[in-house]
Amino acid sequence: MKFEKYHISESIKKNLADLGFKRPTDIQHKAIPSIMKGEDVMAIAQTGTGKTAAFAIPLIDKIERHKSSKRSLGIKCIVMVPTRELAQQIGEVFTTLAKHTKVKTFAIYGGVEQDQQIKKLQNGIDVLVVTPGRMFDLIHQGFISLKNIDTLVLDEADRMLDLGFIKDIQAIKQKIKQKHQTLFFSATINKEIKKLAFSQVNSSAIRIQISPDDPVSKNVSHFVMFVEMDDKRFFLRTFINDNPDAKILIFVRTRVRAERVAKALERGNIKALTIHGEKDQQARTDAMKHFKNDWEKILIATDVSARGIDIPDIHYVINYDLPEISENYVHRVGRTGRGVKKGIAISFCSEEEKKQLEDIQTFLNKKIETIPLSKKEYTLVITPKNEPDSVFELIKEQEAFEKNKKKRKKKKK
């Protein structure tokens, strides 16, 4: 059934049409009717299949139907998310889908001054997308009231329900005194987390699970290449040079690695942005903006961003380092092949990462297709080492330069 046949606001239908969304995805088709009925829902679906719109559409419609004017009488819905980037991304989805309606939406997160956020809250908000830390700060300061909340959404529920967030969720649910609807959405979830999730919802909650046997979207073709750790930079440069017009997202293990890889690319005359927890929020926001708007084509990120990047035209994801948590593989490769688009993800696996690869394949319940490399092909990639990659090589290069300089001087004499 097309969106135009749904019993939702005409304004929302127009917004969906403007976005080019004609038919609901599987998760939207299954979740929207239950959410519109006010039922508790726990939904697990592949990354990139439209989970955010699956809850945003019915929630905006519900609030729109009960409002007689644009004036807000208090927050009706809270969407809790684990990271700032995800808060920004989901906030944008809600703002876009709520255009031309009476529904006011806003995203709040840490790392930025709270004064403007407080001002926006005081002007009235219907839907608040928020990270836990900033939310509790503003609750304790008296700027967020929970008395009118009738819906609580947890996006990326597996991350939200880990040991760091379960107490926050329980605290919020205790503070919401009236009967309310609870929605859990995620791409991955394990048995322990599922137990915790169902302890927080109505026992008759609707369980929705799309493609449980393969958590990676069918739009994503993903492969692995066996590359030694010290050779990865050469393979990455070669790949980027072979795909000069492609938008590429590169995942690394740590903040330090992100900067090192960026410098290695720079030595090969390739410019890359970096985004990780060491950077302040403005720098992270600017990097995302430049990447999203095609001002820069290469972005290097740590897992802090794996769940907060919703950019529809990423051509390739490169796992420069394999993730240490198997579930993060799904979130990483899911940054490409968004919506109806196709995407490709390639992982570089070194000898010391083979155990991680085994864990990922066990989690996926399938082997990842290997890109075979002959010795000749491998050697051709790693042979051109035109720049020094260590302090010792820098010293040797400088000594050679000085030696040649003296020789030239002698010849001139």
For residue 48, the model assigns a pLDDT of 75
Cα torsion 38, 39, 40, 43 to 10°: value is -110
For residue 328, the model assigns a pLDDT of 87
Angle at 94 between CA 27 and CA 110, to 5 degrees: 110
Q: What percent of the chain is predicted at pLDDT more than 70? A: 89
The better pLDDT of the pair 48, 230 is held by 230
Cα–chain center distance at 324 = 17
Separation of alpha carbons 287 and 275, rounded Å: 7
Separation of alpha carbons 65 and 230, rounded Å: 59
Mean pLDDT of the chain: 87
Cα–Cα nearest to 130, from 283, 114, 142: 114
For residue 400, the model assigns a pLDDT of 62
Angle at 212 between CA 211 and CA 213, to 5 degrees: 90
Question: For residue 237, is it left (φ>0), alpha (ψ between -120 and 50) or beta?
Answer: alpha
Q: Residues near 301 by Cβ (< 8 Å), separated by ≥ 6?
A: 249, 250, 251, 252, 258, 274, 275, 276, 309
For residue 291, the model assigns a pLDDT of 92
What fold characterizes domain 220-382? Rossmann fold (3.40.50)
The tens digit of pLDDT for each residue in 40-70 reads 998 888 777 888 999 999 999 999 998 888 8
Helical packing angle, 84-97 and 51-65, nearest 10°: 50
Range from 351-355, 385-389, 399-403 carrying the lowest mean pLDDT: 385-389
The CB density around residue 208, as the number of other CB atoms within 10 Å, is 19
| Element at 300 (helix H, strand E) | strand 298-301
The tens digit of pLDDT for each residue in 149-207 reads 999 999 887 777 664 677 888 888 888 888 899 998 887 777 777 777 777 777 678 88
Separation of alpha carbons 231 and 216, rounded Å: 28
Say whether 181 sits in a helix, a strand or coil.
strand
The model carries a pTM of 0.71
Categorize the per-residue pLDDT at 391 as very low, low, confident or very high, splitting at 50, 70 and 90. Answer: very low
What fold characterizes domain 3-209? Rossmann fold (3.40.50)
Hey, what are 370's tokens? 């290997």
The pLDDT of residue 209 is above 50? yes
Contact (CB, 8 A) for 107 and 67: no
DSSP state of 268: T
For residue 279, the model assigns a pLDDT of 85
The CB density around residue 235, as the number of other CB atoms within 10 Å, is 20
For residue 401, the model assigns a pLDDT of 57
Separation of alpha carbons 85 and 277, rounded Å: 11
Strand 41-44 vs strand 206-209: parallel, antiparallel, or unpaired? Answer: parallel
The tens digit of pLDDT for each residue in 292-344 reads 899 999 999 998 765 667 787 899 999 999 999 888 898 899 889 887 789 99
Cα–Cα nearest to 256, from 306, 302, 305, 212: 302
For residue 407, the model assigns a pLDDT of 62
The better pLDDT of the pair 1, 34 is held by 34
DSSP state of 4: G
The tens digit of pLDDT for each residue in 104-139 reads 999 999 888 899 999 999 999 999 999 988 999 999
Q: Residues near 24 by Cβ (< 8 Å), separated by ≥ 6?
A: 1, 3, 6, 32, 50, 54
Strand 41-44 vs strand 181-186: parallel, antiparallel, or unpaired? Answer: parallel
For residue 29, the model assigns a pLDDT of 93
The tens digit of pLDDT for each residue in 237-287 reads 999 999 999 999 999 999 999 999 999 999 999 999 999 878 888 888 899
Hey, what are 408's tokens? 């030239």
Which residues make up the CATH 3.40.50.300 domain(s) of the chain?
A: 3-209, 220-382
For residue 338, the model assigns a pLDDT of 83
Separation of alpha carbons 404 and 46, rounded Å: 59
Say whether 236 sits in a helix, a strand or coil.
helix
For residue 396, the model assigns a pLDDT of 56
